[in-house]
Amino acid sequence: MAVCRTRSPFATQQHSVYNPHENELEPTMSNVFPSRHPLVAHKLSRLRATGTPPVEFRKLTGELSSLLAYEATANLKTDSIDVTTPMGAATGATLNANIALAPVLRAGIGMVAGIHTLTPDAAVWHIGLKRDEHTLEPIEYYVNRPTDAAERTCLLLDPMLATGGSASAACSLLKSWGAEIIKYIGLIAAPEGVERLQRDHPDVPIHVAGVDSHLNDIGFIVPGLGDAGDRQFST
């Protein structure tokens, strides 16, 4: 595999004021949303560091997942409700959306708890995919098909968007179950993975903490953070 070492066109720019709706990507990549939040940048830097122990790595993974889900769900529908406060009546809002979390095993498991704190009623669908180390293509080994996929907003959870093969296969699987609204949430993406997922599933928005430079010759993101599963589970 040829290795491109040019600077990623998606590299995060520094901004003095956080704007969650800001998007400086090329028009053809308008459905890709690297977070601009200072807290995300801070926690991602700690997550990358080789000296970060597994217990802290897992904690940071959960915190980053929660922050990214907050951004990814900004357009969920709500209904108005009447609320009685100690001081009188108020008009409030209640969420009008059923959510499902679909972690790609095994690394995606570490993203569930952080998002579940925001959406405790969300269903969890597990998708077992592993990457063939020779072809870098995904191999399916476990699924638990839901019966109400069409009724839910699905958050596809996979920390690393490297080649994009697993994420694309997971999106195809979710759509075969009837899912109509899918949002990808990950920690770090490579331009190659972004391109693959956008090409195969242009309707799926991509929410990540950062987009890095390139893939190396064995399909790892550079500079990345290494193997997210190994670093979470000390393997």
Catalytic residue ranges: 131, 135, 227, 230
Please give the DSSP secondary-structure letter assigned to residue 135. T
Could you please report the per-residue DSSP string of 27-64? GGGTTEEE---HHHHHHHHHHH-TT--HHHHHHHHHHH
Assess contact for 8 and 191: CB atoms under 8 A.
yes
Sign of the dihedral defined by the CA atoms of residues 40, 19, 197, 183, in that order: positive
Buried b (16+ CB within 10 A) or exposed e, 107-136: bbbbbbebbbeebeebbbbbbebeeeeeeb
Q: How many C-beta neighbours within 10 Å does residue 45 have?
A: 13
Alpha-carbon gap, residue 178 to 196, rounded angstroms: 22
Looking at the DSSP assignment, which residues form a beta bridge with residue 109?
none
Helix H or strand E encompassing 91: strand 88-95
- Quote the CA–CA distance of 217 and 22 in Å, as a whole number: 33
Rg of the chain, C-alpha, whole Å: 18
